Structure 1
Amino acid sequence: MIVLLPPSETKRAGGDQAPLDLDALSWPVLNPLRAELVAELVTLAADPEASRRALGLSASQDGEIARNAVLRSALTLPALRRYTGVLYDALDFDSLTGAAAERARARLAVGSALFGLVRAGDPIPAYRLSAGAKLPGGRSLSARWRPVLEPVLAEISGRELVVDLRSGSYAALGRVPDAVQVEVVAERADGTRAVVSHFNKAHKGRLARALATTRAEPDDAAAVATVARRAGMRVERNGNRLTVVVAG
Structure 2
Amino acid sequence: MIILLPPSESKTPHDHGDPLSLDQLCYPELTQDRAHMCDILMEISSRERGWEELGVSQRLAPEVERNTEVFTTSAGPAINTYTGVLFTALDAATVAHEDRLDTVFISSALFGVVNARDHIPAYRYSMTPKLSTWWKKRLSPVLDDAWAAEVVVDCRSGAYRRAWPGTNTLPVQVVTETNGVRKTVSHNAKHTRGLVARHLLNRDGDMPTTPEDVVSALKEAFTVEFEHAQITIVV
Identify the residue that residue 84 of structure 2 maps to in structure 1.
85
Identify the residue that residue 156 of structure 1 maps to in structure 2.
146
Following superposition, which runs of at least 4 residues in structure 1 exceed 4 angstroms of deviation? none
Identify the residue that residue 4 of structure 1 maps to in structure 2.
4
Deviates more, 1:236-245 or 1:9-18: 9-18
Percent identity, aligned pairs only, is: 37
Amino acid at match of 2:74: L
Identify the residue that residue 38 of structure 2 maps to in structure 1.
38
Identify the residue that residue 158 of structure 2 maps to in structure 1.
168
Task: Give me the TM-score of the superposition, normalised by structure 2.
Answer: 0.95
| 8 Å CA contact retained: 1:15, 1:125 | no
Amino acid at match of 2:62: G
Q: Describe the superposition over 1:93-123 as per-residue Cα deviations: whole angstroms up to 9, x where unpaired.
A: 01135xx0111x2210001010011111100
| 8 Å CA contact retained: 1:87, 1:204 | yes
Amino acid at match of 2:16: D
Amino acid at match of 1:128: R
Alpha-carbon separation, structure 2, partners of 1:48 and 1:27: 34
Alpha-carbon separation, structure 2, partners of 1:196 and 1:227: 24
Identify the residue that residue 121 of structure 2 maps to in structure 1.
125
**Is 1:194 aligned to residue 183 of structure 2?**
yes
Identify the residue that residue 136 of structure 1 maps to in structure 2.
none
Amino acid at match of 1:62: A
**Is 1:204 aligned to residue 190 of structure 2?**
no
Amino acid at match of 1:242: I
| 8 Å CA contact retained: 2:148, 2:168 | no
Alignment partner of 2:186: what SS?
coil
Alpha-carbon separation, structure 2, partners of 1:221 and 1:239: 11
Amino acid at match of 1:102: D
Alpha-carbon separation, structure 2, partners of 1:18 and 1:27: 20
Aligned pairs, how many? 234
Alignment partner of 1:199: what SS?
helix
For residue 15 of structure 1, report the CA deviation from its aligned partner.
3.9
For residue 29 of structure 1, report the CA deviation from its aligned partner.
0.8
1:1-248 to 2 correspondences below 5 Å: 1-49=1-49, 51-96=50-95, 100-103=97-100, 105-132=101-128, 140-188=130-178, 190-214=179-203, 215-230=205-220, 232-246=221-235
Alpha-carbon separation, structure 2, partners of 1:75 and 1:207: 30
- Aligned alpha-carbon RMSD (Å): 1.4
| 8 Å CA contact retained: 1:17, 1:76 | yes
| 8 Å CA contact retained: 2:6, 2:157 | yes
Alpha-carbon separation, structure 2, partners of 1:15 and 1:170: 28
| 8 Å CA contact retained: 2:150, 2:168 | no
